[in-house]
Amino acid sequence: MDANGWDARYRSTDLVWSAGPNAFVAELCADLPAGRSIDLAAGEGRNALWLAERGWTSTAVDFSPVAIDKALAIAERRGVTIEGVVADLDDYVPTPAGYDLVLVAYLQLPDDRLAPILRRAAAAVAPGGTFLLVNHDAENLEHGYGGPQDAAVLTTPDQVVASLGDGFTVERAEVAKRVVSTDDGERAALDTLVLARRFG
């Protein structure tokens, strides 16, 4: 879906995604010391907003201006400040070594597009900083719940780690189970989870 398609989707409802952060983001970032963060493909900013509420200088980047406008409006209502950037990640270059936390959540693209984005994301991590990616995993197609049904846009931990390049200690690279509440009860979605630290 292109930016216009996402604009239409974001206009169609109050919130496309939940108001709270992704469960893995909340778990793995709660104890990090606040610094500068950037959320790439931020959507309506749920993770960027949560980080801002925890004292981070928080930037949200998305190619949908409607999504970024919603994120900024939510920030104002919650009494926090985030920077909103409308940009296509195929072209966007975050500040090299500029962020203590670089977050990518559910950016589902074919590898020929995703890999260069992840290389630029990794380069944006400051020494001692953290890279965190959560994506729908390739195993989810047959063994999990929900998510895209196109194998070409699903990821694996090895694929993501290969895109980071040198200079990182990979602390977690796994297929992680995420519980999803449905009308038929709880189901398990399978996500690619990669957590890495840049050498300080």
Token pair for 149: 């049904």
d(CA 36, CA 122): 14
- Neighbour tally for 128: CB within 10 Å: 12
Mean pLDDT of 91-96: 98
∠ CA 52-53-54, rounded to 5°:
90
Q: Which two tokens stand for residue 44?
A: 């309506």
If one counts every other C-beta atom within 10 angstroms of the C-beta of residue 75, the result is 21
Look at residue 49 and give its three-state secondary structure.
helix
Closest CA to 194 of 162, 168, 166, 170: 170
What separation in angstroms does the CA of 144 have from each of 11, 129, 165, 187?
29, 31, 29, 8
For residue 197, give the DSSP letter.
Answer: E
Tens of pLDDT, residues 142-172 = 999 999 999 999 999 999 999 999 999 999 9
DSSP state of 147: S
Q: What is the CATH number of domain 3-9+20-198?
A: 3.40.50.150
- Give me the residue spans of the domains in the chain: 3-9+20-198
% of the chain exceeding 90 in pLDDT: 87
pTM for this model (two decimals): 0.92
Q: What is the pLDDT of residue 184?
A: 87
